[in-house]
Amino acid sequence: MKRWKQSELVPVQVELNGVQRRGLCEPRVLLSDFLRDTLGATGTHVGCETGECGACTIRVDGVAQRSCLTLAVQADGRCIETVEGLAQADGSLCELQHALRERFALQCGFCIPGILMTCAEMLKRRPLPEDEQIPGLLAGHLCRCTGYTDLLAAVRHTVAEVRRREAAHPASAPSVGVHDA
């Protein structure tokens, strides 16, 4: 059992995009606020804080979930991936990010960090989804700008690229449009 008083500053350690990070926070601090305010990782956006909009979606131990519905203290010892971890070390965009840019699939960009993290998990688990499954990928996300059409087109494009590569080199396992952080 671990017990922390309400005003106690609790040490929380996470692996954030491959780097060990530590911070102190009260037990009531949301993981989304801990990432943004304590660790300075502001790529993760915060919209509704009730789980509805999906902007704050991150991966915890590889699984996509809402960082606004998790306490920072609950994430102690976990491995966290956020949108900052998607681009390659040299700063070049991952395939899905690139497709979004090429297809003008983002406007204000507020919803995008969450959408990318959901797609990262889904495409990792199932690199070649059936076409009719693709709209379902975005079911947990709200976007006020794009009308979703271009977002879906970008995901479809990424999946088609993976499929094309696989057809050209069938021996290699399908590589995911979003590489691992």
Ligand X SMILES: Cc1cc2nc3c(=O)[nH]c(=O)nc-3n(C[C@H](O)[C@H](O)[C@H](O)COP(=O)(O)OP(=O)(O)OC[C@H]3O[C@@H](n4cnc5c(N)ncnc54)[C@H](O)[C@@H]3O)c2cc1C
By CB under 6 A, name the binding residues for ligand X.
51-52
Binding another protein (rule: CB under 8 A), the pick from 89, 91, 92, 139 is 139
Q: Binding to another protein (CB under 8 A): which residues in 50-79?
A: 50-51, 54, 57, 63-66, 68-71, 73-74
Q: Binding to ligand FES (CB under 6 A): which residues in 112-131?
A: none
Q: By CB under 6 A, is residue 169 in contact with ligand FES?
A: no
Nearer to ligand FES, 155 or 162 (CB): 155
Helix (H) or strand (E) holding 155: helix 149-168
Q: By CB under 8 A, is residue 178 in contact with another protein?
A: no
The span from the CA of 96 to the CA of 157, in Å, is 9
Helix (H) or strand (E) holding 115: helix 112-125
Strand, helix or coil for residue 45: coil
Cβ-contact 123, 129 below 8 angstroms: yes
Strand, helix or coil for residue 127: coil
Residue 108 touches which member of ligand X, ligand FES, another protein, none, C-beta under 5-8 Å by kind: ligand FES
Q: By CB under 8 A, is residue 26 in contact with another protein?
A: yes
Q: By CB under 6 A, is residue 52 in contact with ligand FES?
A: yes
Bridge partner list, 35: none
Angle at 62 between CA 166 and CA 19, to 5 degrees: 110
Q: By CB under 8 A, is residue 1 in contact with another protein?
A: yes
